[in-house]
C-alpha cells in the first residue's frame, strides 16, 4: 500500500477522525494575567460581536473549563470526583462535544443552532455558547448544580485574563436543548455560558 495512504489511515484510526470534527491545538497552560487582576476584572457581558474565536483561544478556553491537569484529574473539582459533566460547544458550524483527552471537538449536530442555546438575543450573535450537561445517572441534580459553578467561574476568569466577554446563563429551555442536541434522558443541561468579543 502507498506509504502516504497508509499514514492517513493510521492517523484517522488513532484519533477516531471524522471529517467535520475540530482538532484543537495543544492548550497553553502557562501565563495569563495575575489572579488578583482577573478577579478584579471579572464581570458579565451581554453585548457581543460575531467575530469567531481562533482555535488556540478555543482550546485554551475549553482546557480552563474542563481539561485535565493531572493524570485523569480535571482543572475543576467535582463532588466525589464524579466528573459528571460533558461540555457542548455551540459554534456557527454546529454543536460539538469537547473531548479533553484527545483535545478535539466532536461534531454532534451540524448547522448553526446557536439560537437554541438560550432565550436572550446575544446568544445567537456570539460565536460560542457552552452548555454544561450533567449525567444524572452519575450524580444528583443538586450536586451537579454545585459542581457546575467551578466550570463557569474558570471560564469567567479565563475570559477576564484574555479580554473576552462572557456571561453564565440559566435562562434557556432545557427541553429545546435536549431535542436539538440529541441528548439522552439522563443528560441534563444545567447552565450555559456565552463567550465572545465584547461589542
Ligand atoms: C446561576 C446563574 C444563572 C444566571 N443566569 C443568567 C441568565 O440566564 N442570563 C443572564 O443574562 N445572566 C445570568 N446570570 C448572570 C448574573 O445576572 C450576573 O452574574 C449578576 O448580575 C452579577 O453580575 P456580574 O457577573 O457582572 O458580577 C446568571 C448567573 C448565575 C450565577
pLDDT of 43 strictly over 60:
yes
- pLDDT at position 10, please? 36
Q: Evaluate if residue 14 carries a pLDDT over 80.
A: no
Expressed in angstroms and rounded, the spacing between residue 40 Cα and the centre of ligand 1 is 17
Query: Homologous superfamily of 19-196 in CATH?
Result: NADH Oxidase (3.40.109.10)
The pLDDT of 39-48, averaged and rounded, is 98
Model pTM score: 0.92
Residue 8 is predicted with a pLDDT of: 36
Segment 65-85 shows an average pLDDT of 98
Q: Which residues line ligand 1 (CB under 6 A)?
A: 43-44, 46, 120, 167-171, 191
The model's confidence at residue 59, banded by pLDDT at 50, 70 and 90, is: very high
Give residue 13's pLDDT: 43
- The pLDDT, as a whole number, for residue 19 is 73
Every domain of the chain and the residues it spans: 19-196
Q: What is the mean pLDDT of the chain?
A: 93
Choose one of 168, 171, 196 to mutate for the ligand 1 pocket test, by most ligand atoms within 8 angstroms of C-beta: 168
**pLDDT at 166 > cutoff 60:** yes
User: Which grid cell sits at 46?
Assistant: 451581554
Amino acid at each position: 500500500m502507498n506509504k502516504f495512504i497508509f499514514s492517513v489511515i493510521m492517523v484517522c484510526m488513532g484519533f477516531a477522525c471524522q471529517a467535520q470534527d475540530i482538532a484543537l491545538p495543544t492548550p497553553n497552560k502557562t501565563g495569563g494575567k495575575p489572579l488578583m487582576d482577573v478577579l478584579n476584572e471579572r464581570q458579565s457581558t451581554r453585548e457581543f460581536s460575531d467575530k469567531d474565536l481562533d482555535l488556540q483561544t478555543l482550546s485554551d478556553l475549553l482546557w480552563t473549563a474542563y481539561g485535565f491537569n493531572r493524570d485523569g484529574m480535571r482543572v475543576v473539582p467535582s463532588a466525589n470526583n464524579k466528573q459528571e459533566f460533558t461540555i457542548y460547544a455551540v459554534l456557527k458550524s454546529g454543536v460539538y462535544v469537547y473531548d479533553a483527552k484527545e483535545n478535539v471537538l466532536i461534531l454532534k449536530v451540524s448547522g448553526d443552532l446557536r439560537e437554541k442555546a438560550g432565550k436572550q438575543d446575544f446568544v445567537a450573535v456570539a460565536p460560542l455558547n457552552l452548555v454544561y450537561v450533567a449525567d444524572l445517572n452519575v450524580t444528583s441534580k443538586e450536586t451537579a448544580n454545585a459542581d457546575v459553578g467551578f466550570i463557569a467561574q474558570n471560564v469567567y476568569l479565563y475570559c477576564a485574563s484574555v479580554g473576552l466577554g462572557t456571561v453564565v446563563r440559566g435562562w434557556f429551555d432545557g427541553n429545546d436543548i435536549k431535542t436539538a442536541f440529541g441528548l439522552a434522558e439522563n443528560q441534563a443541561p444545567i447552565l450555559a455560558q456565552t463567550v465572545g468579543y465584547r461589542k
